[in-house]
Amino acid sequence: MGDVMLALARTFGSLRSGKVWLYVLVPALFSFVLWIVLAIWGLGWVVDWLLGHPPMSLLIAWGVAWLAHILAYLGGWMAIFAGAYLTASLLAALVIMPLLLKHLSETEYADVAPMGKDSFVAAALNSVLASLVFVAGWFLSLPFWLVPGLSLVLPLLLMAWLNRRTFAYDALSQHATGAEWQQLRQQHKAPLFMLGLTMALLAHIPVIGLLVPALAALSFVHYGLEALRRSRGGAIVSIEGERL
């Protein structure tokens, strides 16, 4: 948990830079506008769709239509929030993450040599696949919303998984070799998920939540590059082997 707290402390410390603030605000503004548009034009459609499908349709058939409507509106708002967050996360992963990575690699982590593959295609495929699994998981979780509390817990867990799957790979793909990535992924599996869960919790705080997609990208860069630095024993290396 100490490594997660260190990454979070460095994340908020990075906000002293005006350039980092610019990177953080772009997805936030995009997410805000998208959230408003979806709320105006999509909430009614989502609620109607939920009411026509299980488990809401079952509740109506059982004579508790009032509960079905409450859950449908709750689900509608959460679906809009999830959609806005998902889109902002894709923007953060594909556009903002490379900018943050370049900035931090030239400042705080200049001693961590890039020895991986800087592949936009691989990063894009990883982000899109994670998004598809997230959407599928969200719909598959709907029947479990009848269990008290799970309608709040399951979206949090799905968002935590999305954060870890999207940003952990992108943060390290340029710097870590294939072997290093596999080792770090196994050794830091739980802390990376906890970092993703922390960001998922922050996403539900008003105002701050809009900043979370870019903050998540920033926090995973800090965590990943520090973990890579430690795994190399703090040694300064280069691809050509000129420095050790």
Tens digit of each residue's pLDDT (9 = 90 or more) over 15-31: 998 889 989 888 888 87
Question: What residues of the chain score a pLDDT lower than 50?
Answer: 236-244
Alpha helices in 92-112 (DSSP H): 97-106
> What pLDDT, on a 0 to 100 scale, did the predictor assign at position 93?
87
The separation between CA 12 and the C-alpha centre of its own chain, rounded to angstroms, equals 17
Q: What is the pLDDT of residue 230?
A: 93
Residue ranges of domains in the chain: 2-231
Concatenated DSSP letters for 119-170? -HHHHHHHHHHHHHHHHHHHHHTGGGGGSTTHHHHHHHHHHHHHHHHHHHHH
How buried is 176 (Cβ within 10 angstroms: 0-12 exposed, 13-18 middle, 19+ buried)? buried
Count Cα atoms within 13 angstroms, Cβ side, for 72: 24
- Predicted local confidence at residue 45, as pLDDT: 82
Q: What is the distance between the alpha carbons of residues 142 and 164, in angstroms, rounded to a whole number?
A: 22
**In this predicted structure, what is the pLDDT of residue 234?**
58
pLDDT score at 243:
39
Report pLDDT for 119. Answer: 67
Q: Report the chain's terminal Cα–Cα distance, integer Å.
A: 30
pTM: 0.82
- pLDDT of 152 reads 79
Could you report the per-residue pLDDT of 189-213, keeping only the tens digit for each? 999 999 999 999 998 887 777 789 8
Q: Crossing angle for the helix pair 18-51 and 97-106, nearest 10 degrees?
A: 150
